[in-house]
Structure 1
Amino acid sequence: MARQQLKVWPSSWVSAAADTASWCLALSLVALLLVCSLGAGGAGAGEAMPQVRGAALSARPCEEIYVVAEGETLHSISDRCGDPYILEQNPHVHDPDDVFPGLVLKITPSKPR
């Protein structure tokens, strides 16, 4: 049985391929960082998100599409808006204790504020 000889690639070709691969990887990383930094801010990146606390929190209107603010719970939203069926109307909320600022809820307000 004859032994097969392994092909040996010229070192210049291997070096050129490694250089090309490293440049492609570096450019991809820079592009990814650029896209992520632009995506986080988006349009209006200089605008700060207003925080609603204290008396201003209770003065917020109860609309059909409701964005949870800091310090709110499903119970407090339900009491203020008069909607005991928030959990049933929002199947994306699996745990009533897992409510966080920015969560979008559908509510049916029964008592205007």
Structure 2
Amino acid sequence: MVYKMSVYYRATMCITLMLLLLNLCEKGYGVNLRDMQVPCEEVYMVKEGETLNSISEKCGDPFIIEENPHINDPDDVFPGLIIKITPFRLYSYKF
């Protein structure tokens, strides 16, 4: 009997904690999952006027040259060139 009561007590506490956490997330505390963004897709096509440096800053990937061995000269990128980007997620915290 005591064992059954402790199981019910634990289950009730777990459900209560889950509801409390859901309520906190809904109110904007912690990480807002809707505001998570990926600045660039993993496969990126170079646009007019872009350089590897500008793409690196825009996408937050400092290793573009290392990830794209087909680029022999970093200064010789052109519109339409396909490159690999390792996307870094940006999290939005609301306190």
Tell me the TM-score range normalised by the shorter chain.
0.5 to 0.7
Looking at structure 2, the residues matched to 93 and 67 of structure 1 have their Cα atoms a distance apart, in angstroms, of 13
The two structures have a TM-score, normalised by structure 1, of 0.44
Task: Give the gaps of 5 or more residues in structure 2.
Answer: 1-38, 91-95
Looking at structure 2, the residues matched to 111 and 72 of structure 1 have their Cα atoms a distance apart, in angstroms, of 21
Query: Does the aligned pair in 2 maintain the 1:81–1:111 contact within 8 Å?
Result: no
1:105 corresponds to: 83
Q: Which has the larger radius of gyration?
A: 1
Q: Identity of aligned pairs, percent?
A: 69
For the aligned residue pairs, the C-alpha RMSD in angstroms reads 1.1
Q: Which has the higher strand share?
A: 2
The question of 1:67 aligning with 2:45 is answered yes
Looking at structure 2, the residues matched to 111 and 68 of structure 1 have their Cα atoms a distance apart, in angstroms, of 20
The question of 1:77 aligning with 2:55 is answered yes
Shift of 1:110: 1.1
Compared CA separation, residues 63 and 99, structure 1 to 2 (3 A):
same
Give the secondary-structure state (helix, strand or coil) at the position aligned to 2:56.
Answer: helix
Flag as ranges the 4+ runs of structure 1 deviating above 2 A.
none
Query: Does the aligned pair in 2 maintain the 1:68–1:101 contact within 8 Å?
Result: yes
Deviation sequence 1:1-36 (CA, Å, 0-9, x none)? xxxxxxxxxxxxxxxxxxxxxxxxxxxxxxxxxxxx
Amino acid at match of 1:70: E
Match of 1:88 among 52, 61, 66: 66
The two structures have a TM-score, normalised by structure 2, of 0.52
Shift of 1:111: 4.1
